[in-house]
Amino acid sequence: MYHPSVHLHLSKLHDLPGLPHVKRLLSDVLDLCYPGRCAICRDACDAAAILCSICDQGQQRLETAPACVRCAKALGEHGAPCPWCLGKGIGRYKSIARLGAFQEPLRELIHRMKYHGEWPLAEQLAQRLLRQAHVRAILEDADCLVPVPLHRLRQMARGYNQADVIAGMLSRGTGRRIPVVRPVVRLRHTETQTHLHSRAERVKNLRNAFGLVRPGVVLGKRIVVVDDVVTTGATLESLGRVLRLGRPAQLTAIVIAVADPKGRDFEKI
């Protein structure tokens, strides 16, 4: 049976310094005790992996697909002009990087991470983000990371904020421990965006949803906002407006997935 916390610890075996034969032995023992299962199809896989080879191939196709460097939406080919944002991006974000489109198998991984308590998947997906050149470029230029906050009631119900988990792994993965700061709080326990299928509804739902409580943390800083999924961009825009009150030097964002720009998948997020 797939067990996310066990698989997370197995993946960290590869980070142990030296003694490659000891690492291999430990991995073999853990493979025997905790046989790997793909998080998507449940077929057997390497215990240190979350996906079998077939599902991993599908995920790699999403990760290598062309995307706009300004809004992170899909492009027909690498470097093509973006028909969605026309090079203007979302809000005043200089750039947005993603892992892939909100399609299978990434969609299922996000659902498990977000709604089924499998928070270690957030760290696994963040590790895959760190392999992306665009993500690394944004992180190299970052002064701090700002995870999109959840309202305290929703976070208590879920037990964690997946954006916090992703930001923490991104911070550790850079080697320089980029500070993760929380200058913004969620003021209103808004309706979940899952049930709102239009941009207008989502923008209205997020009106006055965030409040800047520590403006000095972002003053003059290059801020990277971290979230799981971008649909209409309403959350990023709403949070960005509040962050700009603190006069940051720059806003960029890193997300796991970007939904269909035509809005056909909102009800599945």
Distance CA 97, CA 131 (A): 12
Mean pLDDT of the 251-256 span = 98
Confidence (pLDDT) at 2: 47
- Asked if 182 and 218 count as a contact pair (C-beta separation under 8 A), the reply is no
pLDDT for residue 266: 46
Angle (CA) 263-267-269 rounded to 5° is: 90
User: According to DSSP H, which parts of 96-187 are helical?
Assistant: 106-115, 120-129, 133-140, 152-158, 162-173
For residues 154, 157, 160 and 166, what is the CA-based torsion angle, rounded to 10 degrees? -50
In angstroms, the Cα distances linking 188 to 18, 35, 111 are 50, 43, 23
Instruction: Select the more confidently predicted residue: 18 or 86.
Output: 86
Asked whether the predicted pLDDT for residue 200 surpasses 80, the reply is: no
Q: How confident is the model at residue 267 (pLDDT cuts 50, 70, 90)?
A: very low
The residues facing 100 across adjacent strands are: 257
Comparing 9-18, 136-145, 211-220, the range with the smallest average pLDDT is: 9-18
With 70 as the cut, is the pLDDT of residue 4 above it?
A: no
Name the token pair of 108. 């299922």
Averaged pLDDT for residues 240-269: 83
pLDDT at 1: 43
Share of the chain above pLDDT 90, in %: 63
Residue 189's pLDDT is 67
Q: What is the pLDDT of residues 96-125, one digit of tens each?
A: 999 999 999 999 999 999 999 999 999 999
pLDDT tens figures, 62-86: 999 999 999 999 999 999 999 999 9
Residue 33 has pLDDT above 60, yes or no: no
Q: For the chain, how far is it from start to end, CA to CA, in angstroms?
A: 26
Please identify which residue in the block is written with the tokens 């492009």. Answer: 75
Q: Which two tokens stand for residue 180?
A: 């993760």
Q: In which region does residue 25 sit, left (phi positive, over 0), alpha (psi from -120 to 50) or beta (all else)? A: alpha
Angle at 167 between CA 91 and CA 70, to 5 degrees: 30
- Residues 186, 192, 193, CA angle at the centre, nearest 5°? 100
Q: What are the tokens at 30?
A: 């853990």
Cis ω for the linkage preceding 105 (within 30 of 0): yes
Residue 64 CA to residue 47 CA, distance in Å, equals: 24
DSSP-based helix, strand, coil % in the chain, nearest 5: 40, 15, 45
CA–CA dist 258, 144 (Å, integer): 22
Query: What band does 203 get if pLDDT is binned at 50, 70 and 90?
Result: low
What pLDDT sits at residue 128? 97
Predicted confidence (pLDDT) at residue 199 exceeds the cutoff of 60? no
pLDDT digits (tens, 9 = 90+) for 150-198: 988 888 889 999 999 999 999 999 988 999 999 999 987 665 555 555 5
Using pLDDT thresholds of 50, 70 and 90, give the confidence band for residue 42.
confident
With a cut of 60, say whether residue 221 has pLDDT above it.
yes
Mean pLDDT of the chain: 85
